Amino acid sequence: QKEVEQNSGPLSVPEGAIASLNCTYSDRGSQSFFWYRQYSGKSPELIMSIYSNGDKEDGRFTAQLNKASQYVSLLIRDSQPSDSATYLCAVNSLGSSYKLIFGSGTRLLVRP
């Protein structure tokens, strides 16, 4: 079992729709959770971090965390073609606070 799992996609949504990206993790000791956006050929860019159960909103982005289910999600409202990218879920575990464990990413395509 991979430590952090994501559906590779592509997830295709029309412009203006809500895109929902999901991630599960295996280490129950995980403390910090992150979503990175990565455009083709570029480096990952941190867009959301979440540390406690529930929702965290920042503009059009909402991160959701459910530690009991070991599940993290990212919602993108009013999706734009410029949101088309690969979204990487990353987890920082208590025992290895010095490193992030990344999923393989979900590719999002927003159709004009």
Q: What distance in Å separates the CA atoms of residue 88 and residue 35, rounded to the nearest whole number?
A: 6
Residue nearer to other proteins on the CB measure, 26 or 49: 49
Q: How far is the CB of 24 from other proteins (least distance, A)?
A: 14
Q: Residues in the site for other proteins, rule: CB under 8 A?
A: 4, 31-32, 34, 42-46, 49, 51, 88, 90, 92, 96-105
Q: Which is nearer to other proteins, 3 or 70 (CB)?
A: 3
Q: Is 111 exposed, middle or buried (0-12, 13-18, 19+ CB in 10 A)?
A: exposed
Query: What minimum distance in Å lies between the beta carbon of 18 and other proteins?
Result: 24
Identity of the residue, 4 or 72, whose beta carbon is nearer to other proteins in the bound complex: 4
**Which residues on neighbouring strands pair with residue 70, listed in sequence order?**
none
- Please report how close the Cβ of residue 104 comes to other proteins at its closest, in angstroms: 5
Kindly state the smallest distance separating residue 59's Cβ from other proteins, in Å. Answer: 18
